[in-house]
Chain A
């Protein structure tokens, strides 16, 4: 069983990165791995409550976030500095997360077998 971490650093909707990152987590959920997701830099906006993409003609993924846990991605980390720099708090997020400082994120990365960046 491999430890796999998905590092999401891009804002939602402006590029396909965030969408793809989430899709890949769901795919990996079909296999026996230990999954973790990190949201940092503009990636923290992916978790923001109340996203409504109806006006920009794309499906959006806010409704998918709550199923991450059911797909085996139980650890969802948010980088504290990225969150605070963007004026966000854990209450702004659509799902419960674990907020970690830089050293914590670094340590969690070091424990992985594979890191997939998006």
Chain B
């Protein structure tokens, strides 16, 4: 299952709940404000790094660019809208509104 998170992990617990419930090998895609969590050096880095043991973390490039997030946590994969669509094609989804 693909987990899609769109809320900033600094404001809401959506990403934490997602990581807690996601099954091993489920990919997690950060979009909109959730991409703020993908920035290296932030307080969320250890949460993301821990999650990367069991999950591939993706972040939507357009949202990173819009927020000037360039230094990413190593291992986070950037996808464009095409990549977003491919992920949705390949998995059922759960969106953590």
- CB within 8 Å of B: which residues of A? 7, 9-10, 17, 40-41, 79, 81-82, 102, 105-107, 109-110, 112-115, 117-118
Contacts and interface: CB of A to CB of B under 8 A. Distances in A.
Interface of B: 1, 13-14, 17, 20-23, 92-97
Contacts of A79: 17, 21
A117 B93 CA distance: 10
A7 B17 contact: no
B60 to A, nearest CB: 18
A12 to B, nearest CB: 15
Nearest to A42: B13
Contact of B21 (A10, A102, A113): A102
Given A106-B23, A107-B23, A109-B1, A9 B94 contact: no
Contacts of B1: 109-110, 115
Contact of B94 (A7, A102, A107): A7
B97 A109 contact: no
B94 to A, nearest CB: 5
Contacts of B96: 9, 117
A17 B97 contact: yes
18 contacts: A9-B17, A17-B97, A40-B17, A41-B17, A79-B17, A79-B21, A81-B20, A82-B17, A102-B20, A106-B22, A109-B1, A109-B23, A109-B94, A112-B92, A115-B1, A115-B93, A115-B95, A117-B97
